[in-house]
Amino acid sequence: MDKMRVGIIGCGNIAPAYFKGCGMFRLLEAAACADLNAEAAKARAKEFNVTAMTVDELLASPDIDLVVNLTIPKVHAAVSRAALAAGKHVHSEKPLGITLEEGAALVQAAAKAQRRLGCAPDTFLGAGLQTCRKVIDDGWIGRPLAGTAFMMGRGPEGWHPNPAFFYERGGGPMLDMGPYYITALVHLLGPVKAVSAVAVKSFPDRLATCPQQFGQRLPVEVPTHNSGTLIFESGAVVTVCISFDVHAHGHSPIEIYGSEGSLQVPDPNGFGGDVKVFRPDSGQWQPFGFSHGYRENSRSIGAADLAHGVRSGRPHRCSGELALHVLEVMLAFERASQDGRTLEIAHRCAQPAALPLGLVPGLLDD
């Protein structure tokens, strides 16, 4: 089985998870890395026994089949566009772009180039969310009617070494953490039809308390508290709150309420977590064992699924179309708040296919 050779662009905090993830899947081989900071690329290359290159060298290399784009959000689109133009398949970190125009142009560019375009998050391919999908598909809670999704915290300025970009245009809790929650909901319930929301910027700046930038004031350019309602094509209605303004809360990350019961969904920023189901006949929440594998950190599973799609001709699950749909939903929170109206979502996508049961570890097809 021929491997797809992977070149990673962007050697920051998330890169080790992707290098390690490539080693989990039989169709992926991490081969090279690049970064605008040449020393960072050399350090990662030594750490993971790959070749350090400049970005231009990596894009020009005939030995690289798939580019994994781990750059900062505001250059995701530019780097992915250059990789597609160089004839590479692309799997990008989230979000796909920071504007709807960027995202739509990338999807079009991939189609024109006849190359695959994928995008994180791929956590919905893990054991937790795949089990939740099976719970719903098998009818354990009946027809999904409603739900809640809460991602609320105090932001990254206390722990991230470079937190300023989280509050610049293209950052904020919605584009940073929203992809996990919105993608998980689309995976579970199908595409979103419309969004109504309120989005506010609660503070003009934030105080960095991380050691690297301790005491610096970080200007805030984006909403830091987003509260809204998603109306799904299926008819389900989900209340969503994505915020960097909350000290503590007691909500489950995601809950789905069906005609015959309820489902507690684990944190979509992970691959495992506890799945619980409530049915009236039991009268209490019951743990639900995993139906699928990949409960450990499996970053790169989306890139591996893309590689399987290339080899077999089937659609890949973390698709550009899914990422564009999620991007439009996320951006709709601020637009709906500004316009004071419910917004219809124009870019639709198919609900990603569930993974098969009983997969051999390292493979994503039967």
Q: Are 78 and 109 in contact (CB under 8 A)?
A: no
- Residue 284's CB is within 10 A of a number of other CB atoms, namely 7
Category of 104 on φ-ψ map: left (φ > 0), alpha (ψ -120 to 50) or beta: alpha
Q: Are 223 and 174 in contact (CB under 8 A)?
A: yes
292 CA to centre of own chain:
19
Nearest to 73 by CA among 268, 298, 331, 267: 331
Q: Are 300 and 125 in contact (CB under 8 A)?
A: no
Q: Tell me the pLDDT tens digit for each residue of 124-148.
A: 999 999 999 999 999 999 999 999 9
Question: How far, in Å, CA of 83 to CA of 60, rounded?
Answer: 9
**What tokens does 42 get?**
């050399």
What is the pLDDT at residue 1? Answer: 59
Q: Are 55 and 81 in contact (CB under 8 A)?
A: no
Nearest to 218 by CA among 148, 155, 272, 267: 155
Per-residue CA distances from 33 to 51, 60, 90, 363 (Å): 6, 13, 14, 24
Ranges under pLDDT 70 in the chain: 1
Question: How far, in Å, CA of 309 to CA of 317, rounded?
Answer: 9
What is the pLDDT at residue 206? Answer: 96
Question: How far, in Å, CA of 72 to CA of 147, rounded?
Answer: 31
Task: Report phi then psi at 23, rounded to 5.
Answer: -70, -10
Q: Tell me 333's DSSP state.
A: H
**Dihedral of the CA atoms 269, 154, 150, 76 (nearest 10)?**
-50
Nearest to 318 by CA among 334, 335, 298: 298
**What tokens does 29 get?**
């081989």
Q: Are 154 and 173 in contact (CB under 8 A)?
A: no
Strands (E), 153-249: 192-200, 205-207, 217-219, 225-232, 237-243
Residue 7: its H or E element: strand 4-9
Per-residue CA distances from 214 to 38, 83, 218, 289 (Å): 26, 36, 11, 43
Task: Tell me whether residue 166 is exposed, middle or buried, using C-beta atoms within 10 angstroms of its C-beta: 0 to 12, 13 to 18, 19 or more.
Answer: buried
Question: How far, in Å, CA of 97 to CA of 84, rounded?
Answer: 14
366 CA to centre of own chain:
25
Q: Tell me the DSSP string of 347-363.
A: ---PPPPPPPSSPPTT-
**What tokens does 340 get?**
């004071």
Question: How far, in Å, CA of 323 to CA of 207, rounded?
Answer: 32
Question: How far, in Å, CA of 327 to CA of 319, rounded?
Answer: 12
Strands 192-200 and 262-265: unpaired
Q: Tell me 87's DSSP state.
A: T
Question: How far, in Å, CA of 64 to CA of 53, rounded?
Answer: 12
Domains of the chain listed by start with CATH number: 4-123+298-317 (3.40.50.720), 126-287 (3.30.360.10)
**What tokens does 220 get?**
């805030």
Question: How far, in Å, CA of 60 to CA of 42, rounded?
Answer: 18
